Amino acid sequence: MSLMDEAKSFFEQLKKDTLEAHKKALEGIVNEATEEALEDIENADSLEKVKKIQVGIFGKKGHMTELLKNMGKVSANDRPVLGKVLHESRQIIEKKLEAKIIFFAEQEEELKLQKEMVDITLPGQKVYEGHKHPITLIQEEILSIFNKIGYTVVEGYEIEEDYYNFERLNIPKDHPAREMQDSFYINQELVLRTHTSPVQTRTMDKITPQLPVKIISPGKVFRRDDDSTHSPMFHQIEGLLVDKNITFAHLKGTLLHFLRKIFGEDREIRLRPSYFPFTEPSGEVDVSCGNCGGTGCRVCSYSGWLEILGSGMVHPKVLEMAGYDPDEVQGFAFGLGVERVAMLKYDINDIRLFYENDNRFLKQF
Ligand code: FA5
């Protein structure tokens, strides 16, 4: 090798070494900066801080963005070297950032879920189911007993004409029986019906001369009464059967059938002569007091019995006014107090309990 060649090769080697050293130096700077960035990301203790670091590196004015923007100013020799290390650094930092962001996002989600967590082992709030009022239940039970033996349900008017409430039932204006039912008058002609009996005459008026008339009619009635067994508003159920050859035995048999169905065989029943202007003969039915077992208490006014219904053979005058011939047809009728039936069946000693809407009472039915 000539001296010239030797010198040339020496300088080439020197140039190579210098370039290599330069390249190493460049890589060293970038790697150091990368390590620093990775450490900062690692130490960041919130998503907010990680995002701040991200902006500081890759944001519009971030270090990496600035470096890449100025690549044009780097010498042609350094550019590929710098480009390569920057590219690698960028990938490493981005990966670390991504992992850290996912970590915080998951942590946040976990916290949110914990906050929203419902402890299904805690006792819930009980929702009480509504149900029918005890008076409605008893009324339905009574109607169903009569339905099964062929009675049709008919409704009447709560505001009734004095004429139907009294006169058509053989209770003229000066009749002392009007005092038996101290009434709420709306005006001279209209009254809050004092019993369900006006349904008898209204129904007969519609049906006559057809036979039989066989109806049952539930509804509210109103009287100037107010004590533990008498309410100013209460419910009655009226029954009426008109046909040929009807006797008191039919009435007794029907009432016994009903009372046994509703109270069972163990309650005592008493049929007592009574008076109603619209029935002749008339009878009232008493049931033995369930509160004292018939020995006498406040509930039964110390008599051992509670009156639950009035009844009798339809008065010939009532049949006549409705257009029936009393020599040809007969009938029986009864009117029972629904509250009284409920009180006897469930041993309730005060009628006012039905209307106080006390849930502790109502919940029991
Ligand atoms: C009447 O109301 C007659 N209309 C019944 C009748 C119908 C008789 C058909 C003959 C033929 P009385 O006033 O007795 O009768 O009432 C009937 C029933 O209603 C009583 O037996 C009683 O159980 C109930 N009752 C009466 N007054 C009240 C009151 N203030 N509160 C709750 N129940 C009452």
Ligand 1 pocket, residue 340 CB under 6 Å: yes
Q: Quick check: CB of 198 below 6 Å from ligand 1?
A: no
pLDDT tens digits for the chain (365 residues)?
688 888 888 888 888 888 788 788 878 888 888 999 999 999 999 889 999 999 999 999 888 888 888 888 888 878 888 888 889 999 999 999 999 999 999 999 999 999 999 888 999 888 888 899 999 999 999 999 999 999 999 999 999 999 999 999 999 888 877 776 689 999 999 999 999 999 999 999 999 999 999 999 999 999 999 998 899 999 999 999 999 999 999 999 999 899 989 988 877 789 999 999 999 999 999 988 877 888 998 878 899 898 899 999 999 999 999 999 999 999 999 999 999 999 888 889 899 999 999 999 998 99
Q: Is residue 335 within 6 Å of ligand 1 at its C-beta? A: yes
Would you state the structure tokens that stand for residue 359, as one six-digit string? 């849930």
Cβ(161)–Cβ(189) below 8 Å: yes
CATH number of 134-362: 3.30.930.10
Q: Distance from CA of residue 129 to its chain's centroid? A: 6
Which of 195, 350, 351 maximizes ligand 1 atoms within 8 Å of its Cβ, making it the mutation to test the pocket?
195
Nearest alpha carbon, ligand 1 atom 9: 334
Q: Is the CB of 255 under 6 A from ligand 1?
A: no
- Does the pTM surpass 0.75? The reply is no
Ranges of CATH 3.30.930.10 domains, the chain: 134-362
Pairing of strands 213-222, 152-153: parallel
The whole-angstrom separation of Cα 138 and Cα 220 is 14
Q: How far is the centre of ligand 1, averaged over its atoms, from the C-alpha of 235 (Å)?
A: 9
Ligand 1 contact, 313 CB (< 6 A): no
What kind and span of H or E run contains 264? none
